[in-house]
Amino acid sequence: MAIFDPFKLHPAKPYHLDYSGLDRDDVSRKSPQLLGRLLSDSKTKFVPVWRSQNFFCKHGKPLSAMRVLNLKNVSKFIDGSEIVYLGRNRNQEAYLCLDLSQFELMMLDPLNDFGVFGDLRESDNSIGGDDGSIMGYARAMCHWHQKNKHCSSCGGRTVSANSGHSRNCKRNDCGTTFFPRTDPAVIIAVTFENQILLGRQSDWPKGMLSVLAGFVEPGETPEHAAAREVFEEAGVLTKNIVYQYSQPWPFPASLMLGFTGEAESVELAVNTDEIEMAGWFTREEIELFDGGNFHLPRKLSISRRLIDDWLLER
């Protein structure tokens, strides 16, 4: 078994979506017979995904726990659905992701007795680390399959292979193999003395402020990307950029690399083509957010952790 203890991998406490929770079992998933065996095994656990929404328990706090199903629950939905072997848990139970996106929601009414579909981003911050990680993993794999039905080399159709962990072009004169990709993105808490730089994009929830972020471009380091994004969006030069921790962010396919950095000055030149606004805020001002016009990002996100870490430094 290779289910790593997330508390041992990094000196910082693991955060939402960071746990993994499964042995991804690379050796077994290479067997062409694996999915057939698991689909006939009554002990196999199914992780449903429907149009980027995960399947949660109905009881307790809303969107606070994963709901897995068994073969009897999902047998009528297997034909034609995308299936991905996710791995095995600590009890050696196999998990299969089942993408139900081909079905209209009303056709999935039989599943209402067991759980409810919802957006993982909106899950309660009490969600277990294993649950969040497994659901994020399943969501990301479904998105990748949906976006790679055709070969980018020749335009031919592709088919799932390697128990759902690759896709092969069906054309004999091409035969290109594709693997899941994750987009590296940087997110950085930039500070100047007793202030932190926060901004917002126009399509965010009303009043939400966060630290700045952006994607790593070809040919640059994450540190360079962080400095570039801050300068492009807010006109601030950043120094002493230090990596803190990362977080899978399958919305749809990113890996967030979290940094801290120091601004050389508080002068701002906000690029409103990139962001709606940006400003410097003290800890005292942030403490008044919830009762005013602003609020911080959801606790599920690495952006909130970077801000909370700074707030606790006083």
**For residue 159, what pLDDT is reported?**
97
Mean pLDDT computed over 210-221: 98
Banded pLDDT at 281 (limits 50, 70, 90): very high
**For residue 12, what pLDDT is reported?**
86
How do 166-169 and 158-161 pair as beta strands?
antiparallel
Q: Does residue 291 carry a pLDDT above 80?
A: no
Banded pLDDT at 15 (limits 50, 70, 90): confident
Three-state secondary structure along the chain?
A: CCCCCHHHHCCCCCCCCCCCCCECCCCHHHCCCHHHHHHCCCCCEEEEEECCEEEEECCCCCCCCECCECHHHHHHHCCCCEEEEEEECCCCCEEEEEECCCCCHHHHHHHHHCEEEECHHHCCCCCCHHHHHHHHHHHHHHHHHHHCCECCCCCCEEEEEHHHCEEEECCCCCCCEECCCCEEEEEEEEEECCEEEEEECCCCCCCECECEEEECCCCCCHHHHHHHHHHHHHCCCEEEEEEEEEEEECCCCEEEEEEEEEECCCCCCCCCCCCCEEEEEEHHHHHCHHHCCCECCCCCCHHHHHHHHHHCCC
Mean pLDDT computed over 12-31: 93
Supply the mean pLDDT for the chain. Answer: 96
Share of the chain above pLDDT 70, in %: 99
Q: What is the pLDDT of residues 42-73, one digit of tens each?
A: 999 999 999 999 999 998 899 999 999 999 99
**For residue 196, what pLDDT is reported?**
98
pTM value? 0.94
CB contact set of 229 (below 8 Å; sequence gap of 6+): 186, 188, 212, 213, 214
Q: What is the pLDDT of residues 101-142, one digit of tens each?
A: 999 999 999 999 999 999 999 999 999 999 999 999 999 999
How do 177-178 and 115-118 pair as beta strands?
unpaired
**CATH numbers and ranges of domains, the chain:** 6-147 (3.90.79), 183-311 (3.90.79.10)
> Distance between CA 12 and CA 207 in Å, rounded?
29
**For residue 292, what pLDDT is reported?**
77
Q: Does residue 240 carry a pLDDT above 80?
A: yes
Banded pLDDT at 1 (limits 50, 70, 90): low
Both tokens of residue 299?
């606790």
Both tokens of residue 285?
């001002």
Mean pLDDT computed over 253-273: 97
**For residue 186, what pLDDT is reported?**
98
Angle value at C-alpha 164, between 129 and 132, nearest 5 degrees? 10
